[in-house]
Structures are given as structure tokens and as C-alpha cells.
Amino acid sequence: MGRKEIGLLGLIVVIAAVTSVLNPQFLSSVNLMNMANLIGLFGIFAIGQGLVIITGGIDLSVGSIFALLGVIFLDLVVNHEVAWPIAVLVVLFGGLLLGWLHGLLVTRAGLQPFVVTLCGLLIYRGAARYYTGDSTISLGYADNVDALIWLAAGRSYGIPHSFIALVLVAIVVGVVLHRSVFGRYLFAVGRNEEATRYSGIRTGAVVTGAYVLGGLLAGLSTVLLVFYTSSVSPSSFGNFYELYAIAAAVLGGCSLRGGEGSVPGIVLGTVLLQILQNLVNILGIPSSLNFAVMGGVILVGALADRHLTRRRVAAPPARAAGAMAPAE
């Protein structure tokens, strides 16, 4: 783990310690498992967001993708009684397809990621609402999905499956990002697209790959989120979730300029966000302040990071000059 991750971990420990002193309920297993569940749900698509941010892009469409894929999924399972494995595959493939589309629009058509995914945010939300006539679809008593309910929303040894899913996703994506050739290319593209292209790398394919992976993880998240809420209201399902994901990625050390970030960092960013949410509840802070607390902490974190980076950068030049000058 790098400096940023350790700093973040320290911050989490401090906040958790203070909160548990103020209200010991914070450490109750019910509360912890509840948080673990939310961390799992949000962490998976935050990792997808992080991949896109590392390429220097951004994905604003995530929340609307949840709504669109969510209504499609429930429609298939509830109204058309499609076998759930097929419905899950449709959703995963749908996420992948939308990610691919975003990637092509960014790399082939040369549009800015912000614009592409902003249009996605609007289009998918509208499509979801039109698809259901703006009415909520609920899981109801669909009886052919018990196994999936257990898989998506159940627990093993008391641990929510969403959290286990996050751990698995984090390990796989972590290895891909930090150890694989593709991961190296992602960082290189995010840092310097031109030099990467001049090294013979298909930068378009690399960037598109990040969007595809992000879309796939959004599809997976859709299934988990649907079973968390048991119903999908197309006008509100997943609203603002892209912003949670961006916040988690940025807290976790991703730079919006690209080329920087890590999977452990993004996971820790998600953990911190969820602790903050939980803290607002458990300490009796008016829940209307929820966003304000989150925004405040992110701002302070960004300022602290900037300050530390500047101090680190300010110190070495003399040392570097000492090391390099005789070599010249």
C-alpha cells in the first residue's frame, strides 16, 4: 500500500474510533454488517469508475445505467418469468455493451468522456422511465429467484454476500490493474496517451477496455442493488450513485487528470464514505446534512493531500540537484 492508502486507512481508524466512543452501537455487529453490505454494493461500481478515471475519463452515467438495467432485469424476471441466470447475463452483457459504446464514442468519435456519459445519464434515465411508464417495478413474490436472492442479498458466516463480491472483484481487478500488461497500459494511457501510442500500443482499445470493464461492474452492481431495494423506481433508482463512485475514487487517490489511482485506495475511499453516512445516522446528526458532511470531508481530504504533496515536492529539488549535478 502506498502513502495515500495508509493515510486514508489512518483517517478511517480515527473516525471509526471517535464515532464508537460517542456511540458504542457503531461497533455492534448489526451495524458493522449493515455497513459491510453497503460498502460491497458501492465499492464494486466505484472500482469500475476508478478504472475509467485512471484513463483520464469519467463515467457520469452509472446511476442511470442502474435504473435502465434494473427495470429490464425485473421486467424479465417478474413479468416475463425468464430464468434468472439468463436475466443476469442479459444485465451483465447490457452493462458491457453500454460501456463499449461509451468507449467507442470517446476513442473513435473523439468526444469528451464527460459529454458522452452526461448524455448517457440523461438518455438511460429517460429510457428507463419510458420503459415502465414511470411506474415502480418490484420483485414482489417472484418465486423462481430464491437462489439468486440468497446469492445477491444473503449472508455466509454472517458476512453479506455483496461484501464478499467486492473482495473478489477487488482482488481480480487489483491484479489486473497493478500487475497485468493491460493495467500498465491503463496507467500509461492516462499519463501520456501520445507517448503510449508512439510505443505501438492500441490506446483506443485500452481506453475502451476500461469503459467495458466499468460497464460490466455496473451490470453486476445493478443485480446486487436490485436485491438490496427489492424494487426499482425508474426515476430515483441509482440517482447520484455516479457521484458516490467518483467521490470514493477521488478519496482513494485517483486523479481526475488520469494515470493515478489504486484498487485498495478506491475500496478504502468507499469504506470512508459509508462510515460517514453511518456516522450521520448513528450520532443523530440531521440526515439532511448527509451530503454536506460527505462534501466537507472530501474537501478537507483533498486539501490535506494537496498540502502534503506540495511539501513533498518542495523538499527534494536540492537533493535531486545534488545527485544529478555531478553526473552532468
In sequence order, the 6+-apart residues with CB closer than 8 A to the CB of 194 are none
Dist. CA 183–CA 259, nearest whole Å? 10
Q: How far is the CB of 206 from other proteins (least distance, A)?
A: 12
Which range of residues in 63-71, 153-161, 175-183, 209-217 is near other proteins by CB under 8 A? 175-183
By CB under 8 A, how many residues form the interface with other proteins?
A: 33
Dist. CA 147–CA 144, nearest whole Å? 8
Q: Tell me if 35 sits within 8 A of 274, measured CB to CB.
A: yes
Query: How many other CB atoms are there within 10 angstroms of residue 30's CB atom?
Result: 8
Residue among 155 and 197 whose Cβ is closer to other proteins: 197
- Determine if 155 is a binding residue for other proteins (CB under 8 A): no
Q: Tell me if 276 sits within 8 A of 15, measured CB to CB.
A: yes
Q: Which of residues 185-224 bind other proteins (CB under 8 A)?
A: 185, 187-188, 191-192, 194-202
Q: How far is the CB of 259 from other proteins (least distance, A)?
A: 7
Q: Which residue has the cell 453490505?
A: 37
Q: Select the residue interacting with other proteins from 253, 259, 265, 301 (CB under 8 A).
A: 259
- Determine if 327 is a binding residue for other proteins (CB under 8 A): yes
10 burial class (0-12, 13-18, 19+ CB within 10 angstroms)?
A: exposed
Dist. CA 109–CA 288, nearest whole Å? 41
Q: Which three cell numbers stand for residue 136?
A: 415502480
Q: How far is the CB of 63 from other proteins (least distance, A)?
A: 32
Residue among 147 and 308 whose Cβ is closer to other proteins: 308
Dihedral pair phi/psi, residue 137, rounded to 5°: -105, 130
Residue among 143 and 194 whose Cβ is closer to other proteins: 194
Q: How far is the CB of 50 from other proteins (least distance, A)?
A: 18
Q: Select the residue interacting with other proteins from 179, 306, 307, 312 (CB under 8 A).
A: 179
Residue among 126 and 174 whose Cβ is closer to other proteins: 174
Q: Which residue has the cell 455466509?
A: 156
- Determine if 174 is a binding residue for other proteins (CB under 8 A): no
Q: Tell me if 259 sits within 8 A of 191, measured CB to CB.
A: yes
**Cα dihedral value 57, 63, 65, 66, nearest 10:** 140
Q: How far is the CB of 102 from other proteins (least distance, A)?
A: 23
Q: How far is the CB of 60 from other proteins (least distance, A)?
A: 26
Which range of residues in 64-72, 107-115, 228-236, 320-328 is near other proteins by CB under 8 A? 320-328
Q: How far is the CB of 192 from other proteins (least distance, A)?
A: 5
Residue among 176 and 283 whose Cβ is closer to other proteins: 176
Would you give the distance in Å from CA 108 to the centre of its chain?
25
Residues interacting with other proteins, by CB under 8 A? 175, 179-182, 184-185, 187-188, 191-192, 194-202, 259, 317-328
